[in-house]
Amino acid sequence: MCFVGFMMDSHRTSSRVSVKQTISLVCSKVRLGILAGLLLALSVSAVNDWVKGGTLRPNRPAPSLAIDSSPLEREGTSVVSFAPVVQQAAPSVVKVYTSATSSRESTRWQQNPMERFFGFPGWDAPNPPQTPQTREGLGSGVIVSPEGYILTNYHVIKGADEVKVVISPDEVTHVAEVVGGDPKSDVAVLKIDAEGLRPMDLGDSDQILVGDLVLAIGNPFGVGQTVTMGMVSAKGRADMGLEYEDFIQTDAAINPGNSGGALVDAKGRLMGINTAILSRSGGNMGIGFAIPINLAKSVMESLIANGEVIRGYLGINIQDLRPEMASYFNLDEKQGALVADVVPDSPAQVSGLQPGDVVMVFDGKPVLGSRELKLMVGSSQPGVVYEVKVLRQGKELLLGVELGQLGEPFLQKASHSSQGNEQVWLKDLELEPLNRALKSQYGVPQSVDGLVIVAVRQGSLAWNAGLRPGNVVREINRTAVMEMADLRQLDFDGPSVLLRLWVDGAHVFRVITLNEQG
């Protein structure tokens, strides 16, 4: 069975108990009193400057990045050696070692349940002995600026108490500062103070093509810096469990320890940060994934400047435009992001976006689907007005949207249509107009009206399609339905029907293929 592995590499656990630690337990009450006094003495300004990494965020210099966006020469004589490329790029790739210390019950206590139940001389049953456990991990990173900024994966440094980097070929070790990390894109930024660093040039990952040769450089299994070669197998891969995904797929050998390492093109430019593998065994099987450098660079610059990633917020629920939906929206091309819902008082509503709009272009760039639009909006700046081209009832409109800032209360959701062909017939459903009692029963907001599904015949086409009690039918074939009488006004003679539903707190469009025998 295949699995996607975010390559948090082999960990080792060691236990150490010192005399000083034992004494510290005896003196804990005194030390807690002293610590409480010190905590009360902290100034309010210092607390306000505290960031998620657990450190005070200094005023860091912006990274001096070397960017080479020139096109790759894809025609010419064959290459017999990549040694010059490796010699150029390899010194920029570092080994990353992490350690984290935690306390847990002693091994003896865990291994003998009888002693744990009855107690044992010298042991306190309600509070079993604690011993420090040191968890160590390894990964890779890429130096990207002379100031000492290093790109790596968030999962490599997550939870680490100490991070060290080793620079090849001299194997010089430096203690690294964690500038910040973004779990939504799996990007993290480290910083070291060192002279004579050799940062890697950054390429333009939008220009890389399927079939381009690439090199993966990293520290697999801790054996030391290793270079493997392959090609770009695909672009725009997603569904790896992150909120912001646009992976480059490659068959260059990637193994545990390569996490955070470099994916470079034939000119030695950084095109991606190696992140994940698809494997049956946990090792390389020719399917690896890298975060495009354009996405990683955007996240890095925000982490350095703000201590967190500042993302734009539009305020729409979106889904991909499935081929069978295109005719309902007068579309010849099956691309764009379908607006299923607009958040009240959001930038989208203020700008005039409506449910049923198809976003075709954002800031001059074509929108292929919901994932692309989410990435575009997330990497855009709040407070800036962007031009958005939408298709509404067959007509193109240009709207100016001033983005807000994405925050915890305003998580943009991409509602993707379910997989497979859905078929349904109204006789499979029991519908009732929403009232206050039904809204309360099914957790439907007071602002939502329509026909709620109160029963679905098990084993029916509707049941097999996934329709369940609590789903709210709001529109059929772009016509609002509020009462049962509204259904009699609709034409069901076609082979399919377009529904707008309220499902699990969000609106979605679905095309339902009808059973011809009804």
Digit-coded pLDDT (tens) for 294-324 = 999 999 999 999 888 889 999 898 888 877 7
Confidence of residue 510 (pLDDT cuts 50, 70, 90): confident
pLDDT at position 390: 94
Give the model's pLDDT for residue 54.
41
For the ranges 128-132, 189-193, 257-261, the one whose mean pLDDT is highest: 189-193
Q: Are residues 240 and 386 in the same domain?
A: no
CA distance 515 to 518: 5
Looking at the fold, whether 360 and 455 belong to one and the same domain comes out as no
Residue 518 lies in a domain: no
- Please report, as a single letter, which amino acid is at residue 26: V
Contact 169, 21 (CB under 8 A): no
Provide mean pLDDT across the span 10-28.
39
CATH code, domain with 473: 2.30.42.10
Residue 392 domain-assigned (yes or no):
yes
Whether the Cβ atoms of residue 205 and residue 212 lie closer than 8 Å to each other? no
**Does a structural domain hold residue 52?**
no
- Averaged pLDDT of the chain: 77
The pLDDT value given to residue 465? 63
145 and 287 inside one domain: yes
Q: How much is the pLDDT for 124?
A: 43
Percent of the chain with pLDDT over 90: 33
- Indicate the Cα dihedral angle 454, 460, 462, 465, nearest 10°: 130
Per DSSP bridges, beta strands 288-292 and 312-313 are unpaired
Of 200 and 46, the structure prediction assigns the larger pLDDT to 200
How far is Cα 272 from Cα 248, in angstroms, rounded to an integer?
7
Among the three residues 255, 289, 309, which one is the final residue of a domain in this structure? 309
Q: Are residues 183 and 116 in the same domain?
A: yes
Whether 141 contacts 188, CB under 8 Å = no
User: Any idea which of 64-73, 74-83, 182-191, 283-292 has the lowest mean pLDDT?
Assistant: 74-83
Query: Is 385 in contact with 404 (CB distance < 8 Å)?
Result: no
Q: Is residue 73 part of a domain?
A: no
Select, from the ranges 152-161, 465-474, 503-512, the one with the highest average predicted confidence (pLDDT). Answer: 152-161
Confidence of residue 146 (pLDDT cuts 50, 70, 90): very high
User: 67 vs 459, which has greater pLDDT?
Assistant: 67
pLDDT computed for residue 292 by the predictor = 94
Do 246 and 328 lie in one domain? The reply is no
Which residue among 352, 374, 405 closes a domain? 405
- Considering only residues 111 and 248, tell me which one the structure prediction assigns the higher pLDDT: 248
Domain end, chosen from 275, 309, 343, is at 309
The candidate with the shortest Cα–Cα distance to 279, out of 357, 191, 220, is: 220
Higher pLDDT, 29 or 476: 476
pLDDT tops 80 at residue 128: no
pLDDT at 409 over 50: no
Tokens of residue 412, six digits: 């943009």
Give the Cα separation of 288 and 297 in Å (integer).
Answer: 20
User: What's the distance, Cα to Cα, between the start and end of the chain in Å?
Assistant: 39
Supply the residues annotated as catalytic.
155, 186, 259
CB atoms within 10 A of CB 96: 29
pLDDT tens digit string along 204-237? 999 999 999 999 999 888 888 899 999 999 998 8
pLDDT reading at 16 higher than 80 = no
Tell me the sheet residues that pair with 330.
none
Please compute the mean of the pLDDT values over residues 93-107 and round it to a whole number: 74
Question: Which residue did the predictor score with more confidence, 517 or 487?
Answer: 487
Q: What is the CA radius of gyration of the chain?
A: 28
Mean pLDDT of 39-60: 45
- Which pairs from 477-482 meet CB under 8 Å and 24+ separation? 477/328, 478/328, 478/356, 480/450, 481/450, 481/451, 482/433, 482/449, 482/450, 482/451
Q: Are residues 217 and 97 in the same domain?
A: yes
pLDDT: which is higher, 228 or 512: 228
Residues 304, 338 within the same domain: no
Q: Within a domain: residue 259?
A: yes
Q: Which of 66, 64, 73 is nearest to 267 (CA)?
A: 73
Poorest-confidence range of 11-20, 54-63, 269-278, 309-318? 11-20
Model confidence at 104: pLDDT above 70: no
Judge contact between 191 and 177, C-beta under 8 A: yes
Residue 47 confidence (pLDDT) above 70: no
pLDDT recorded at residue 91: 94
Return the closest-CA partner of residue 452 out of 501, 417, 492: 501
In which band, very low, low, confident or very high, does the pLDDT at 464 lie, cut at 50, 70 and 90? Answer: low
**Which tokens hold the place of 91?**
């010194």
For residue 44, being part of any structural domain is answered with no
Instruction: Label residue 138 by pLDDT band (50, 70, 90).
Output: confident
pLDDT band at 366 (very low <50, low <70, confident <90, very high): very high
Query: Which pLDDT belongs to residue 174?
Result: 95
Residue 48 located in a structural domain: no
Q: Say what the pLDDT of residue 406 is.
A: 80
With bands split at pLDDT 50, 70 and 90, how would you rate the model's confidence at 243?
confident
Residues 369 and 504 in one domain: no
CB count within 10 Å of CB 220 equals 25
How far is Cα of residue 175 from the mean position of the Cα atoms in its chain?
A: 28
| pLDDT > 90? residue 407 | no
Residues 6+ apart with CB under 8 A from 295: 185, 187, 205, 244, 246, 375, 379
255 with 334, same domain: the answer is: no
- The rounded distance, in Å, linking the Cα atoms of 477 and 311 is 35
Torsion of CA 50, 53, 57, 61, to 10 degrees: -160
Q: How far apart are CA 228 and CA 250, in angstroms?
A: 11
Q: Which of 66-70, 267-271, 353-357, 511-515 has the lowest mean pLDDT?
A: 511-515
Asked, for residue 449, whether it belongs to a domain, the answer is: yes
Nearest to 438 by CA among 489, 502, 510, 487: 502
According to the model, what pLDDT value does residue 420 have?
31
- DSSP letter for 369, please: S
The residue segments making up the domain with residue 329 are 312-405
Numbers of helices and strands, H then E, in the chain = 12, 28
> 509 or 110: whose pLDDT is higher?
509
The domain tally of the chain equals: 3
* Helix, coil or strand: residue 148: coil
Q: How confident is the model at residue 4 (pLDDT cuts 50, 70, 90)?
A: low
Q: Do 144 and 181 share a domain, yes or no?
A: yes
Q: Are residues 195 and 294 in the same domain?
A: yes
Residues 507 and 461 in one domain: yes
Considering only 110-124, 256-270, 330-344, 498-512, which range has the smallest mean pLDDT?
110-124
Flag whether pLDDT at 265 surpasses 70.
Answer: yes
